[in-house]
Structure 1
Amino acid sequence: MTNDQYSFENPVTRYDSIAPPEQRQPEPGLDRDLKPRADHGEDSYRGAGRLTGRRALITGGDSGIGAATAIAFAREGADVAISYLPDEEPDAERIIALIEQAGRKALALPGDLKDAAYCRSLVERTVEAFGGLDILVNNGGKQVSQDSILDISDEQFDETLTTNVYAMFWITKAAVAQMPPGSTIINTTSIQAYQPSPTLIDYATTKAAINNFSKGLAQQLAPRGIRVNAVAPGPIWTPLQPSYGQPMEKLTQFGQDTPLGRAGQPAELAPAYVFLASGESSYVSGETLGVTGGKPTP
């Protein structure tokens, strides 16, 4: 366990190298039932006013990377809306409470990212609740491992692309129409965009698309003063992994093949999103920031 994100520690031993027990959860998975529990920075993230007065929408904000980002944004001074599947309500309630404990407004937006109308409504409802929107984090995603392309059904392929790519398009299009100059869009891609696992063909395809979408949109929106960037996580311990995101034989050794020798924790991703959302990154757009435990990206 770490003191806070500013503490100077050996990154190899900052967190234990976990060896998760065999476990399965039905999709989408709950952080509440994750063994061991992930660290979202609940007890460690220390804000410094870097996002004071900002208004953020984060998809997949109930657990994992989205939850850590929501906590960090709130402690940096932003009001935060989170979207999540209705089945994830137990996790979402905890994150909403932590946002409010930070003294910020919180907005819970349950629904399914495969629904275009719901995606567009996320922006409308956030603007109505907060008086505007100037940070968008497209983070919600679907990942289901399959040993062979022959095992990937048309339904799974369609749901993965719709959740990971179409939803990003729908939400971003609605958000751009509302965002003032100085706004930022941050999309979650993955090490899978560069080093695709043979068991994650459909998921890795979406992450490469997200990377390309982010770089193209960054050029288009730059004259409007809206920056677009992406974060590429490596193996991060979240409910996505035991809810069929990894084969069981890989789950128990998750993240141990990184140069740092361990899986990352969601709390280690939050500072990357804060940096890209804050004015400190004012000259950064079209960038993909890798947080991969040392796994190289181009």
Structure 2
Amino acid sequence: MYPKYPYYGYEQKCEKVPVTFPPQQQYRQPGFEYLMEPRPIYDNPNYIGTGKLKDKVAIISGGDSGIGRAVAVAFAKEGANIVISYLDEHQDAVETKQAIEQLGRRCVLIPGDLRKEEVCQHVVNVTADLFGKIDVLVNNHAVQFIRDSLLDISAEQLQASFQTNILSFFHLTKAALPHMPAGSSIVNTTSVNAYIGRENLIDYSSTKGAIVSYTRALAKNVVEQGIRVNAVAPGPIWTPLIPATFTPEMVKSFGADVPMKRAGQPFELAPVYVLLASDDGSYITGQTIHVNGGQFVSS
């Protein structure tokens, strides 16, 4: 079942956007895009870049797939060179690299576990050595684990959630800041769950709430350096994290409970990251932009 889908208010010929999904499950976080059915839609063919990020250098964590892949491709269309930090999803990462290089931009892949501060420093060192600067940092990687009760959340899971979803943001940003000139931008991926809470994603929701506060505080801290810091709060988006988190039956109806009655696709978030990364967002800092299919949130 597919709806008519308008791009930016105009009916265009485009790939069909699914409303329901075949039941499926992956058993490893954060998941593999190449195994998904259907594959997420990461590129809007009607999006034409206008040089908003010409010759900029962007690090995108989790850029191998999902939202990160869509952001990487949109940034490349806008003229940026891309460094993708990812765990070990090599096949997905290579596909993303190929998509970026087809757009005429450079793409560097750096696998590694960002829970380790030395890996974060390595990502930044490689980027600085190759390009001499970092103009955009997108902190985008995450894990999430379904648990019906707080009593079911082990100490190991709690550590994994916080080390991956927020502590690594501190490490990667701390390493990058000395290489970010005035006019640079940091964009953090949080979640609608930071605002509405999710009863079976307690630790995940908590880390995403921390990202909102981190974004606000860091924005004030670096504003005099001419660096802007913002966040994007996605709702239900069809990414590898979904089949890697939910049961097959939950996947089947994923996204149906929002006002737009469907999950979003990664390409639908990418222009917001472009806005926040580019001079179009020059008067925006410390803010969170919601892309969630119509869910009401209170900040």
Bin of the TM-score, shorter chain as denominator length: over 0.9
- 2-side partners of 1:15 and 1:113: how far apart? 32
Residue 69 (structure 1) aligns with: 71
- Post-superposition offset of 1:144: 1.2
Residue 224 (structure 2) aligns with: 223
Residue 57 (structure 1) aligns with: 59
- Post-superposition offset of 1:167: 0.5
- 2-side partners of 1:24 and 1:61: how far apart? 19
Spell out, residue by residue over 1:116-147, the C-alpha distance to the aligned partner (whole angstroms, 9 max, x if none). 10012111111111221010000011111111
Aligned in 2, Cα 1:180/1:5: closer, same or farther, shift over 3 Å? farther
User: SS of the residue aligned with 1:238?
Assistant: coil
- Stretch moving more, 180-189 or 40-49: 40-49
- 2-side partners of 1:118 and 1:83: how far apart? 10
Residue 256 (structure 1) aligns with: 256
Residue 33 (structure 2) aligns with: 31
- Post-superposition offset of 1:175: 1.1
- Post-superposition offset of 1:18: 2.2
State how 1:113-128 maps to structure 2 within 5 Å: 113-128=114-129
- Post-superposition offset of 1:4: 9.4
Contact 2:79 2:105 in 1 (8 A): yes
- Post-superposition offset of 1:9: 4.0
- 2-side partners of 1:208 and 1:6: how far apart? 29
Letter in 2 for 1:288: T
Residue 169 (structure 2) aligns with: 168
- 2-side partners of 1:6 and 1:288: how far apart? 21
Output the TM-score relative to the length of structure 2.
0.93
Residue 288 (structure 1) aligns with: 288
Aligned in 2, Cα 1:217/1:279: closer, same or farther, shift over 3 Å? same
For the aligned residue pairs, the C-alpha RMSD in angstroms reads 2.0
Contact 2:25 2:246 in 1 (8 A): no
Letter in 2 for 1:260: M
- Stretch moving more, 150-159 or 1-10: 1-10
State how 1:1-298 maps to structure 2 within 5 Å: 6=8, 8-9=10-11, 15-41=17-43, 43-86=45-88, 88-243=89-244, 245-298=245-298
Unaligned runs of 5+ in 1: none
- Stretch moving more, 143-152 or 31-40: 143-152
- Post-superposition offset of 1:251: 1.8
Spell out, residue by residue over 1:146-170, the C-alpha distance to the aligned partner (whole angstroms, 9 max, x if none). 1121221111110110001110000
- Stretch moving more, 26-35 or 281-290: 26-35
Aligned residues: 294
Contact 2:135 2:185 in 1 (8 A): yes
- Post-superposition offset of 1:23: 2.6
- Post-superposition offset of 1:3: 9.4
Spell out, residue by residue over 1:188-244, the C-alpha distance to the aligned partner (whole angstroms, 9 max, x if none). 00000001111100100000000000001101111110000000000000010111x
Unaligned runs of 5+ in 2: none
- 2-side partners of 1:42 and 1:286: how far apart? 28
- Post-superposition offset of 1:43: 4.3
Letter in 1 for 2:43: G
Moved over 3 A (4+): 1-7, 42-45
Contact 1:5 1:271 in 2 (8 A): no
Contact 2:63 2:93 in 1 (8 A): yes
- 2-side partners of 1:40 and 1:183: how far apart? 25
- Stretch moving more, 248-257 or 127-136: 248-257
User: SS of the residue aligned with 2:271?
Assistant: helix
User: SS of the residue aligned with 1:209?
Assistant: helix
Contact 1:4 1:44 in 2 (8 A): no
- 1-side partners of 2:168 and 2:29: how far apart? 18
Aligned in 2, Cα 1:40/1:62: closer, same or farther, shift over 3 Å? same
Letter in 2 for 1:26: R
User: SS of the residue aligned with 1:177?
Assistant: helix
Aligned in 2, Cα 1:21/1:160: closer, same or farther, shift over 3 Å? same
- Stretch moving more, 282-291 or 96-105: 96-105
